[in-house]
């Protein structure tokens, strides 16, 4: 069989053009394949290396800081192979079945078939609600970062950044470097936890030093940093005007007109779920994640998982995982295309990913999940803002109806049925169920994905002949 015939049999599709998706595409192209890349964003780079609009004036150094070189490398990698891939930006993949992906682009749906599929779907913020979090002016950390990277905008004139995890300090550093006024950084973790985790994080000393630098740099530039805090409420009526929190010294309040908050990240796993991939509970990330072997194979033949969409490990790991799953795909689909240097490279990538995983364990120790959050959450706090479901309604489903599995609670309360399709509320709802029922978080289960994974518009014709666009869940 000719090489052309061999290649015709392999139709790889990559969902996501972040670090993982780009390196996967680059690797497939280098072996003579032409992948299709479907990307929901208007340009490649993913959230971490999101590219600004055409007329954006800031340099990459000013935009990405320490990561400018890596961002440029990722951007260039994709730019250099654009003529050898079928790249589709602004394209939402909203369903997957029978080796086909349902997509939406420019208001039109279409179908993309594949022989092999790489899911590089990335992550979103992990949100733990607090009183006032639905006020205008309150954003997730990821949204605050998008405003800065995509448009060069700060979310406010007096910004408070709150939560825990490396992203908290990275966003604060990026905001202050850009000239924004960050009036406080509020970390639910304690500095002693970060110090205690130093030994575990020495597996990647350069990454550890960057984190230390961000904190030192913020202090040197006069940004107040508070540790071991517990958020109480965002003040304000028509929009946020301040934040109240407590720590070992008592209650505190600071005025602000914008808050960015988040508690690390959660993987985007909906497509893997719809495809039928096997999931298991990951205690480190307090979430059910699709299973994958050391090379990125899922439990479904021909479906591969790479990057934060399969477990949060960061951009460096995503690049390596993208390259590894691409080599694995080629090895599975057409072994003759794999050479000895490729096998050596696969072993190197597995070793590097193992080292990053050890660092990830240290990060979790340094920035632990707020274990008492659910127990301290009042009944009237809105957990699911789409459907306006409160913590008390979730607790009632547990206590009165005996529902301890999250899909049962969903059926009784509508939590997770709104526009975000549980992206913002699932983690918080699971924590409340587990706390109320007195069971381990792993026993709560996971909300089952269903298409469309995000709202899609559909067109209806009125008798007047006018066309209206409506949202369909």
What's residue 64's pLDDT?
A: 77
What's residue 1's pLDDT?
A: 47
For 11-39, how does the pLDDT look when each residue is reduced to its tens digit (9 = 90+)? Answer: 999 999 999 999 999 999 999 999 999 99
Closest to 162 in 3D by CA, of 136, 182, 181:
182
Mean pLDDT (whole number) for 210-238: 95
Residue 451 clears pLDDT 60, i.e. is over it = yes
From 3.50.50.60, 3.40.462.40, 3.20.20.70, 3.30.413.10, which CATH number describes the 3-124+266-338 domain?
3.50.50.60
For 230-243, how does the pLDDT look when each residue is reduced to its tens digit (9 = 90+)? Answer: 999 999 999 999 99
For strands 116-119 and 303-305, give the pairing.
parallel
Residue 469's pLDDT band, with cuts at 50, 70 and 90, is very low
Residue 2 clears pLDDT 60, i.e. is over it = no
Residue 406 clears pLDDT 90, i.e. is over it = yes
- Three-state DSSP class for 278? coil
For 42-75, how does the pLDDT look when each residue is reduced to its tens digit (9 = 90+)? Answer: 999 998 898 887 777 777 777 777 788 899 999 9
Mean pLDDT (whole number) for 428-440: 97
Domains of the chain, residue spans: 3-124+266-338, 127-263, 371-473
Q: Which two tokens stand for residue 471?
A: 């949202």
Q: Which two tokens stand for residue 64?
A: 């990405």
What's residue 120's pLDDT?
A: 98
Helices and strands, counts by H and E, the chain = 16, 24
For 155-201, how does the pLDDT look when each residue is reduced to its tens digit (9 = 90+)? Answer: 999 999 999 999 999 999 999 998 999 999 999 999 898 888 888 88
Buried b (16+ CB within 10 A) or exposed e, 49-68: bbbbeeeeeeebeebbbbbe
What letter would DSSP give residue 93?
A: E
Range of weakest confidence among 39-43, 205-209, 407-411: 205-209
What's residue 471's pLDDT?
A: 46
Residues of the chain with pLDDT > 90: what percent?
79
What's residue 457's pLDDT?
A: 77
From 3.40.50.720, 1.10.10.410, 3.40.47.10, 1.10.10.1100, which CATH number describes the 371-473 domain?
1.10.10.1100
Asked whether 118 and 325 are in contact (CB, 8 A), the reply is yes
The secondary structure element, H or E, covering residue 392 is helix 391-399
Please give the mean pLDDT across all residues of the chain.
92
Residue count of the chain: 473
Mean pLDDT (whole number) for 415-438: 95
Domain 127-263 has CATH 3.40.640.10: no
Residue 246 clears pLDDT 50, i.e. is over it = yes
For 249-290, how does the pLDDT look when each residue is reduced to its tens digit (9 = 90+)? Answer: 999 999 999 999 999 999 999 999 999 999 999 999 999 999
Asked whether 175 and 148 are in contact (CB, 8 A), the reply is yes
Asked whether 361 and 200 are in contact (CB, 8 A), the reply is yes
Residue 221 clears pLDDT 70, i.e. is over it = yes
Residue 464's pLDDT band, with cuts at 50, 70 and 90, is very low
Tally of CB atoms within 10 A around 292: 22
Range of weakest confidence among 55-59, 209-213, 322-326, 368-372: 55-59
Q: Please determine whether the domains at 3-124+266-338 and 127-263 fall in the same fold group of CATH.
A: yes
For 91-104, how does the pLDDT look when each residue is reduced to its tens digit (9 = 90+)? Answer: 999 999 999 999 99
Range of weakest confidence among 103-107, 130-134, 305-309, 435-439: 103-107
């Amino acid at each position: 069989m000719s090489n052309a015939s061999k290649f015709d049999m392999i139709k790889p599709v990559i969902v996501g053009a972040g670090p993982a998706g780009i390196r996967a595409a680059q690797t497939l192209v280098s072996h003579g394949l032409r992948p299709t890349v479907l990307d929901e964003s208007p340009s490649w780079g993913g959230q971490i290396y999101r590219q600004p609009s055409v007329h954006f004036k800031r340099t990459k150094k000013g935009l990405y800081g320490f990561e400018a070189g890596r961002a440029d490398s990722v951007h260039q990698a994709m730019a250099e192979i654009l003529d050898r891939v079928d790249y589709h930006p602004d394209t939402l993949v909203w369903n997957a079945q029978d080796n086909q992906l349902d997509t939406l682009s420019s208001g039109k749906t279409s179908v993309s078939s594949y022989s092999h599929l790489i899911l590089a779907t990335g992550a979103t913020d992990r949100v733990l609600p607090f009183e006032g979090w639905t006020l205008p002016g309150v954003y997730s950390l990821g949204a605050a970062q998008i405003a800065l990277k995509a448009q060069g905008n700060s979310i406010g004139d007096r910004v408070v950044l709150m939560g825990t995890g490396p992203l908290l300090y990275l966003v604060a550093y990026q905001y202050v470097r850009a000239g924004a006024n960050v009036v406080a950084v509020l970390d639910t973790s304690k500095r002693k936890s970060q110090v205690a985790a130093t030994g575990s994080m020495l597996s990647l000393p350069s990454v550890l030093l960057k984190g230390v630098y961000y904190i030192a740099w913020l202090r040197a530039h006069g940004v107040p940093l508070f540790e071991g805090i517990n958020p109480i409420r965002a003040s304000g009526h028509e929009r946020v005007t301040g934040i109240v929190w407590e720590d070992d010294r008592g209650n505190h309040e600071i005025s602000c007109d914008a808050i960015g908050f988040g508690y690390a990240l959660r993987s985007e796993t909906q497509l893997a779920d719809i495809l039928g991939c096997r999931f298991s509970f990951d205690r480190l990330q307090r979430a059910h994640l699709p299973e994958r072997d050391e090379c990125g194979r899922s439990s479904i033949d021909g479906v591969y998982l790479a990057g934060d969409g399969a477990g949060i490990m960061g951009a460096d790991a995503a690049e390596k995982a993208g390259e590894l799953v691409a080599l694995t795909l080629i090895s599975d689909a057409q072994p003759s295309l794999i050479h000895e240097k490729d096998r050596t490279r696969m072993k190197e990538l597995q070793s590097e990913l193992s080292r990053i995983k050890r660092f990830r364990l240290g990060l979790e120790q340094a920035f632990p999940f707020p274990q008492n959050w659910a127990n301290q959450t009042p009944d009237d706090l809105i957990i699911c803002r789409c459907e306006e479901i409160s913590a008390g309604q979730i607790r009632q489903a547990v206590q009165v109806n005996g529902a301890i599995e999250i899909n049962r609670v969903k059926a009784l309360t509508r939590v997770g049925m709104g526009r975000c399709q549980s992206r913002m509320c699932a983690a918080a709802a699971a924590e409340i169920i587990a706390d109320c029922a007195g069971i381990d978080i792993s026993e709560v289960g996971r909300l089952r994905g269903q298409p469309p994974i995000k709202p899609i518009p559909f067109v209806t014709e009125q008798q007047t002949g006018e066309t209206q666009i409506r949202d369909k869940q």
